[in-house]
């Protein structure tokens, strides 16, 4: 059954892309900063999986939790050490800072681990095949979908029903006014970075799980995916990021199936052509969103 297999693969890929894009937009929504170091949070989690999984007897589930926690913590640290001091200066300063953080973290991995990729141990059950609705697919793909659904529900509840979530939405809408209501700027920004890092960590488990290896430049491709997904879905709302991720997954898989064998190597070129069409015809993305363009300062 090609049909159900296509649906499961698309949902799995789309889920992964949705989480990737969501992590980038959490920070963008509030700071209007495109954080180029975002991919490196994913790398941090990847290397944590490698180190703990290879050199310690820590069980795999705990390894995964620690990897996600460390990605969130590193994300928070970069905000504290690198972004906070330049936050009131200019958006350009923050953008350049995000490049610097990205390069620093990449080179730390090059220097302290190795420029070559390292094999990351995963429990065998992770890549075993299961049959769901007549489709045969690795357990990993089902886990990706289930994890994404749980995370999206949890984040929706957080953003809609907790005062912290409401404050974050308010800050994404009008930052200065939110501070005038007594909401501390540092609080909402820190939480945005922690959530961003947390999502990068979760993504890392499934991203690294696909190739079972990690290298210093592993963060680049997810960053690109987050850009493309947000171009498609829209940069100005969390919903846009999720929609963009799923549409990207769908387009990618559809291209894989529909393109003749001789053109399959040009799949990315076709994908980018679609992205250019989006930029030309609907630059605000599928979901317009209500966030303003106010600068934080």
The stretch among 48-56, 59-67, 93-101, 170-178 that binds other proteins (CB under 8 A) is 170-178
User: Given candidates 183, 218, 232, 251, which one binds other proteins under the rule CB under 8 A?
Assistant: 183
User: Given candidates 173, 210, 259, 286, which one binds other proteins under the rule CB under 8 A?
Assistant: 173
Calpha distance 214→101 (Å, rounded): 19
The stretch among 77-85, 120-128, 160-168, 274-282 that binds other proteins (CB under 8 A) is 160-168
DSSP string, 263-297: GGGGHHHHHHHHHHHHHHH-TT-S-------PPP-
The stretch among 69-77, 140-148, 179-187, 216-224 that binds other proteins (CB under 8 A) is 179-187
Residue 118, beta-bridge partner list: 214
Residue 213, beta-bridge partner list: 119
Q: Does 178 bind other proteins (CB under 8 A)?
A: yes
Mask for 92-131, x = binds other proteins (CB under 8 A)? ----------------------------------------
Calpha distance 233→248 (Å, rounded): 9
Question: Is 91 within 8 Å of 33 (Cβ atoms)?
Answer: yes
Q: Does 167 bind other proteins (CB under 8 A)?
A: yes
Write a three-state SS string for 252-267.
HHHHHHHCCHHHHHHH
Residue 149 or 181 having the CB closest to other proteins: 181
Question: What values do phi and psi take at 135, rounded to 5?
Answer: -110, 135
Q: In the structure encoding, which two tokens stand for residue 112, read together? A: 């302290």
The stretch among 135-143, 150-158, 172-180, 276-284 that binds other proteins (CB under 8 A) is 172-180
- Residue 289: CB minimum distance to other proteins, A: 8
Residues forming the site for other proteins (CB under 8 A): 163, 166-167, 169-170, 173-174, 176-185, 289-291
């Amino acid at each position: 059954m090609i049909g159900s297999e296509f649906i499961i693969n698309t949902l799995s890929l789309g889920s992964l892309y949705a989480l990737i894009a969501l992590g980038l937009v959490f920070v963008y929504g509030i700071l209007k900063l495109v954080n180029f170091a975002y991919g490196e949070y994913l790398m941090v989690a990847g290397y944590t999986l490698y180190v703990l999984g290879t050199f310690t007897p820590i069980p795999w589930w705990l390894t995964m939790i620690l990897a996600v926690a460390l990605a969130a913590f590193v994300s928070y640290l970069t905000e504290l050490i690198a972004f906070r001091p330049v936050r009131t200066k200019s958006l350009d300063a923050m953008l350049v800072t995000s490049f610097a953080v990205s390069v620093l973290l990449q080179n730390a991995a090059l220097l302290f681990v190795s420029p070559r990729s390292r094999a990351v141990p995963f429990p065998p059950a992770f890549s075993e095949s299961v049959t769901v609705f007549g489709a045969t697919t690795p357990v990993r793909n089902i886990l990706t979908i289930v994890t994404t659904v749980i995370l999206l529900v949890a984040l929706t509840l957080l953003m809609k029903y907790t005062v912290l979530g409401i404050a974050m939405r308010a800050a994404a809408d009008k930052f200065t006014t939110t501070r005038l209501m007594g909401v501390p700027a540092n609080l909402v920004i820190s939480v945005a970075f922690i959530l961003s890092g947390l999502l990068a960590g979760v993504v890392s488990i499934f991203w690294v799980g696909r190739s079972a290896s990690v290298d210093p430049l592993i963060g680049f491709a997810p960053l690109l995916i987050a850009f493309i997904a947000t171009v498609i879905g829209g940069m100005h709302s969390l919903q846009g990021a999720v929609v963009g991720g799923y549409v990207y997954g769908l387009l990618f898989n559809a291209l894989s199936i529909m393109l003749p064998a001789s053109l399959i190597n040009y799949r990315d070129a076709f994908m980018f052509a679609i992205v250019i069409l989006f930029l030309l015809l609907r630059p605000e993305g599928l979901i317009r969103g209500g966030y303003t363009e106010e600068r934080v300062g």
